[in-house]
Amino acid sequence: MPPAFNPDGSGTPPPAEVRVVELEIPSDVAFIESVVDLVRRECEAMGYAPRQISLNVPVALTEAVSNAILRGNRDDPAKHVRVRAEVDEMRLVLEVGDEGEGFDIEASLIDPALPGNVDREDGRGLFLMRSLMDSVERVDVPYGSKVRMTLLRA
Partner 1 sequence: MSFSINREGEVVVVDVEGQLIVGNRQELKQKVLDELDRGEKKFLIDFSQTGYIDSSGLGVLVSLSKKIREQGGELRLANLNDDLKTLFELTKLDTLFQIADTRDRALQSF
33-43-54 Cα angle (round to 5): 55
The pattern of x and - marking residues 38 through 67 that bind partner 1 according to CB under 8 A reads: -------------x--xx--xx--xx--x-
Question: Which region, judged by CB under 8 A, interacts with partner 1, from 19-27, 86-94, 100-108, 112-120?
Answer: 112-120
Instruction: Quote the least distance from Cβ 147 to partner 1, whole Å.
Output: 15
Q: Which is nearer to partner 1, 21 or 70 (CB)?
A: 70
The answer to whether 11 and 2 are in contact (CB under 8 A) is yes
Binding of residue 121 to partner 1 (CB under 8 A)? yes
Binding of residue 144 to partner 1 (CB under 8 A)? no
Binding of residue 118 to partner 1 (CB under 8 A)? yes
Can you give the C-alpha Rg of the chain in angstroms?
18
Instruction: Quote the least distance from Cβ 37 to partner 1, whole Å.
Output: 10
Q: Which of 101, 104, 106, 122 binds partner 1 (CB under 8 A)?
A: 122
Q: Which is nearer to partner 1, 8 or 122 (CB)?
A: 122
Binding of residue 127 to partner 1 (CB under 8 A)? yes
CA atoms within 13 A on the CB side of 114: 7
Helix (H, G, I), strand (E, B) or coil at 7: coil
For CA atoms 21, 125, 137, 43, the dihedral sign is negative
57-58-62 Cα angle (round to 5): 115
